[in-house]
Chains A and B, each alone.
Chain A
Amino acid sequence: MFEPLNPLLHSQLRLAIMSLLISVEEADFPYLKKQTDATSGNLSVQIDKLSEAGYITIEKTFRGKKPRTICRITPKGIKAFDAYVQALKGYLK
C-alpha cells in the first residue's frame, strides 16, 4: 500500500522551492526565481501557498531602498518535506 503523497508538495514548482530552501538557511525571491526558472507571478503564488501551510516563512525587508523578500523553511516544512521523501521512497521500491 502506497502512502499518499502530500499534494501541497507534489507539484513541480512548490517541490523545487522546498528542495532549495531545505538546503540553505534563507533565500531571497530573485534567487528562487533564477534557480527554478519560474515567472514572478507563479513563484509568488506558490510561495504564498507554502507560507499559508506554515511550511515556509516570508520576511519582507529593505536592502538600501530596494524591497527584499526572504524565504526560510520552518520546522513544520522540514517535517513535511521529510515525510514526502519517505513516502516517495515507497513508490520507487
Chain B
Amino acid sequence: MEQEKEINARESIVLINEMIERAQSNFRKGSGNSMIFWGCAVSITAILVFILLQVLDKPYLAFHGWWLMAPAFVLESLIRKKQPEAHAKTHIDTIISMTWSSCLFFILLFLAVVFAFALILDDWHVYLLITPVILLALGMSQFVTAKAFRFRYYMYGAMTLWVGALLCVAVTLLTRSVSYQFLVLALCMIFGFVITGILQNKNAAEKCSNP
C-alpha cells in the first residue's frame, strides 16, 4: 500500500469496509492452542487421579494430583509469551478473556467454599458437587465464547460440558463412587476442549490462508 496514493470517495468507503472486515475476522493461527493445552492437562490429571483412587491405600491422597495444575499455569503462560504472531486485540477478545478469567475465579472460590463446608460439616459428600459444577461453569464460558465468535464448534463444546455435568450425576448414582466422575471429566475435556481447539486452529489456518 502506498502512503500518499490519491483515492476518491468511493475507494475510501471500500477501503474502510475492507479494513474493518479484516479486523473483525481476527482469528489467529494457533488461537486454539490454549484450549488444547488445558484440555490435555486436565484430562491427563483427571485420568491420573482416577487411577490413584483405584490403587492407593488411602484414596483421599489421590486428590493431591490436582496440584499438577499449578505448574500447568506457569507452563501455559510461558508458551503464550513465546507466540511471535502479529497481534491485535479486539473488544470481543477482551470480553472473552474476562469471561474465562471470571470462570477461573468462580472455580477457585467454589473450591474454597466446598472445602470449607466439608470441614465445617465433617462430610465428604459435598465433594460430589465439584466436578459437575466445574463442568457447568466451563460450559457457560464456552457458550459465551461460541456466541461471541460465532463458531459453532464452541457451541458443541459447551453442550458436551453440560451433558458431562449431568453424566457425573448419573455415574455417581450408578456406581455410588466419586471416582468415575473423573473419567467423565477427562472425556469432556477431550471432546469439549481438545477437539474444539484443534477445529479452531484448522478454521484459523484456513482463514489466514484465504483472507
Besides A13-B5, A37-B1, A63-B81, 14 new A-B residue pairs in contact (Cβ under 8 A), listed by A number: A5-B9, A11-B3, A13-B1, A16-B1, A19-B18, A20-B20, A23-B19, A25-B89, A26-B89, A28-B86, A35-B19, A38-B1, A85-B16, A88-B13
Q: How far is the CA of A12 from the CA of B7 in the complex (A)?
A: 7
B19, B84, B88 — which one has the most chain A CB atoms within 10 A of its CB?
A: B88
A64 within 8 A of B: yes
Kindly supply a per-residue 1/0 record for chain A positions 13-47, scoring 1 wherever the CB is within 8 Å of any chain B CB and 0 otherwise.
11110011011111110110111111000100110
Docked complex: B1-35 residues within 8 A CB-CB of A: 1-5, 7-13, 15-16, 18-20, 22-24, 26
- Measuring CB to CB, which residues of chain A are less than 8 angstroms from any residue of chain B? 5, 10-16, 19-20, 22-28, 30-31, 33-38, 42, 45-46, 63-64, 66, 85, 88, 91-92
Q: How far is the CA of A63 from the CA of B77 in the complex (A)?
A: 13
Chain A residues within an 8 Å CB radius of B89: 24-27
A42 contacts B23, C-beta separation under 8 Å:
no
- Smallest CB-CB A-B distances: 6 pairs: A19-B19, A30-B86, A23-B23, A91-B9, A27-B88, A31-B86
- Measuring CB to CB, which residues of chain B are less than 8 angstroms from any residue of chain A? 1-5, 7-13, 15-16, 18-20, 22-24, 26, 81-82, 84-91, 93-94
Q: How far is the CA of A37 from the CA of B18 in the complex (A)?
A: 13
5 CB contacts below 8 A, A to B, read A10-B7, A19-B19, A27-B89, A42-B3, A63-B81
A13 contacts B23, C-beta separation under 8 Å:
no
Chain B residues within an 8 Å CB radius of A22: 20
A15 contacts B90, C-beta separation under 8 Å:
no
Which residue of chain A has the shortest Cβ distance to B88 in the bound complex? A27
Chain A residues within an 8 Å CB radius of B10: 92
Q: Which of A23, A28, A37, A66 touches B20 (beta carbons < 8 Å)?
A: A23
Q: How far is the CA of A35 from the CA of B19 in the complex (A)?
A: 8
Chain A residues within an 8 Å CB radius of B9: 5, 88, 91-92
Chain B residues within an 8 Å CB radius of A19: 15-16, 18-20, 23
Contacts A15-B12, A15-B15, A63-B81 given; does A24 touch B5 at CB 8 Å: no
Q: Name the distance in Å between B9's Cβ and chain A's nearest Cβ.
A: 4
